[in-house]
Structure 1
Amino acid sequence: MSSPEVLAHRGFAGIYPENTIGAATDAAAYEETTMIEIDVQPASCGTPVVFHDDRLDNTRDGQPVTDGSGLVWETSLEELAETRVLGTEESVPTLSAFLEALPETVGVNVELKNPGRSDLRFAESLAESDRKEQRAHWAPFVERVVTDCDAFSGEILFSSFYEGALAAARNIAPDYSAAVLLADSVKTGLEIARRYDCEAIHPPRNQVRGTELASEPYGSIPADEPDIDLLEIAHDEGRAVNVWTVDTWVQFTQLAEVGVDGIIVDYPGLGQSARPQE
């Protein structure tokens, strides 16, 4: 059985305040952590910040994500610096400050979450006539993200659910690795991965065949064994498969047994039972 790489989801969001510098530095201290997965979008001035939701006043398990309110991309850097995340003293960091706090020994999976607008095309394979427009929507923000990432000495992997984001990333920074995030269609994900020659594909945990997870619903993705063997096809094409998001060691072990390359997890230590026997 393989031992997949561990990607700390938002900095092990199961035990640390997600997407904060404190979470990242704590997550980086675990020997198992290969990469830290984060989400980026702009503040009102266009500066990339690390935050997942569009709104500051969304909730996690009934608790407000922050003590702020409103759309992130309509909020100033000064306000974000004073905003507290999940009842802690951690604030919403800039991408630059976030990367500066990390050692080069840990990589960062930068999910391009939003360029500061709502007219985007989520998890769609775009017609050729639409690709230029969507790439243009993303390009100014992606340029600023790339500038921040260029100052980081560790590994960077860009990922997104949006074809426009991947198109902009490939155009602006072709030397960085890229991954397409899948939603409800394996076929769509493979099309986009091939179009931009993505180094990796990031499917949800129930889109990998050969596990019990494939017959369980996950979020809005129904319980239905995938018709397409994504893992086999991706590996035949030379692409890594990093699965999101795993909460238990049982889930981790199932995915490790079928040979996925990486697993995005909320908690540290899930892979201990999946390590190969000596």
Structure 2
Amino acid sequence: MALHPDFIRLPIAHRGLHSDGVPENSLPAFRAAVEAGYGIELDIQPAADGTPMVFHDYDLMRMCDDEGYISDMDLDDLAKAKLLGTEEKIPTLAETLREIAGRVPLLIEIKDQDGRLGTTIGEVHSRVAALLQNYDGPVAVMSFNPNTVAAFGEAAPNVTRGLTSCAFDKNDWPMLDDETRKKLSELRDFERVGAEFASHDWHDLTNPAVEALRSQGVPVLCWTVRSADEAAEARQRADGITFENFVP
């Protein structure tokens, strides 16, 4: 299914329209994005029982001052975790879908569950697919892990899916060998996994593989621009932007 044009027409708020006192990936950040008329990007990690939670990190230290790993925690424990000292808790994807209710485009990134972007991806993609079965509104799902993209496509063939990508610099991805990093940076899995768009690091938009996809009419989104100047530069080479820390 083709990427909905609103993902290109509207800037996409990275982890919602968060700010001081409004944590990333929180329901208030999503409400703020809806009120401002922006699209929303969010991240998915599974709780211990597989429930898709809207959370970026693998552990809770940065956001909740807790050393626990989100995939080891049950829903009762996660309900007690507060985001950045506020009263906001980590939302489930189900709660978030009810909140957004199709009013703005929703870009969902399923975080890698393998550790090395391999084939041990768990079942969270299936849980996300089930929740989106009756969702009414512009939505797309993506992942850095091509295997997750392929598996999600099998579980939800009617939901647009894409690859999240970057240059896969060795310093940023030390767990990957050189050949794997090269393969991923060249988006060689794009067609194999049935991806329909790319969301690429805006610093690397001159990547020949990205330029080739765009020349073929493949929508290219980019992440994450943090100023008006960066946005203007990124829009010369990408169709849509994901932003934070400023208002486009």
Aligned to 1:215: none
What is the Cα deviation at residue 4 of structure 1? 5.4
What is the Cα deviation at residue 177 of structure 1? 0.9
Alignment of 1:146-225 (within 5 A): 146-185=129-168, 188=184, 189-209=186-206
What is the Cα deviation at residue 238 of structure 1? 2.4
Aligned to 1:23: 29
Does residue 243 (structure 1) correspond to residue 222 (structure 2)? The answer is yes
**Mapped contact 1:55–1:69 kept (Cα < 8 A):** yes
- Cα 1:182/1:114, change in 2 over 3 Å: closer
Distance 1:8 1:28 in 2: 10
Matched letter for residue 42 of structure 2: I
> How many residue pairs end up in the alignment?
226
What is the Cα deviation at residue 155 of structure 1? 1.6
Matched letter for residue 121 of structure 1: R
Does residue 141 (structure 1) correspond to residue 138 (structure 2)? The answer is no
Please, what TM-score do these two structures have when normalized by structure 2? 0.84
**Mapped contact 1:199–1:239 kept (Cα < 8 A):** yes
Distance 1:76 1:47 in 2: 9
**Mapped contact 2:51–2:127 kept (Cα < 8 A):** yes
- Cα 1:85/1:104, change in 2 over 3 Å: same
- Cα 1:242/1:140, change in 2 over 3 Å: same
Aligned to 1:106: 104
Aligned to 2:45: 41
**Mapped contact 1:111–1:158 kept (Cα < 8 A):** yes
What is the Cα deviation at residue 14 of structure 1? 4.7
Larger of the two Rg values belongs to structure:
1
Partner of 1:109, secondary structure, is strand
What is the Cα deviation at residue 259 of structure 1? 4.3
The C-alpha deviation readout for 1:229-258, integer Å capped at 9, x for no partner, is: 623x122322111111011000001122x1
Distance 1:83 1:140 in 2: 24
Partner of 1:101, secondary structure, is helix
What is the Cα deviation at residue 20 of structure 1? 0.9
The C-alpha deviation readout for 1:107-141, integer Å capped at 9, x for no partner, is: 211101144xxx4333xxx7xxxxxxx1xx33622
Q: Larger RCO: Structure 1 or Structure 2 (Cα < 8 Å, ≥ 6 residues apart)?
A: 1
- Runs of at least 4 residues of structure 1 off by over 4 A? none
Does residue 9 (structure 1) correspond to residue 9 (structure 2)? The answer is no
Does residue 91 (structure 1) correspond to residue 89 (structure 2)? The answer is yes
Of 50, 55, 61, 1:51 maps to 55
**Mapped contact 2:205–2:237 kept (Cα < 8 A):** no
- Cα 1:207/1:143, change in 2 over 3 Å: same
Matched letter for residue 29 of structure 2: A
What is the Cα deviation at residue 149 of structure 1? 1.7
Distance 2:122 2:183 in 1: 26
Does residue 264 (structure 1) correspond to residue 242 (structure 2)? The answer is yes
Which runs of no fewer than 5 residues in structure 2 stay unpaired?
1-7, 169-181
The C-alpha deviation readout for 1:70-115, integer Å capped at 9, x for no partner, is: 0000011111111110111110111101111113121211101144
**Mapped contact 2:40–2:106 kept (Cα < 8 A):** yes
Distance 2:27 2:134 in 1: 17
**Mapped contact 2:166–2:204 kept (Cα < 8 A):** no
Please, what TM-score do these two structures have when normalized by structure 1? 0.75
Which runs of no fewer than 5 residues in structure 1 stay unpaired?
60-64, 127-133, 210-225, 271-278
Aligned to 2:172: none
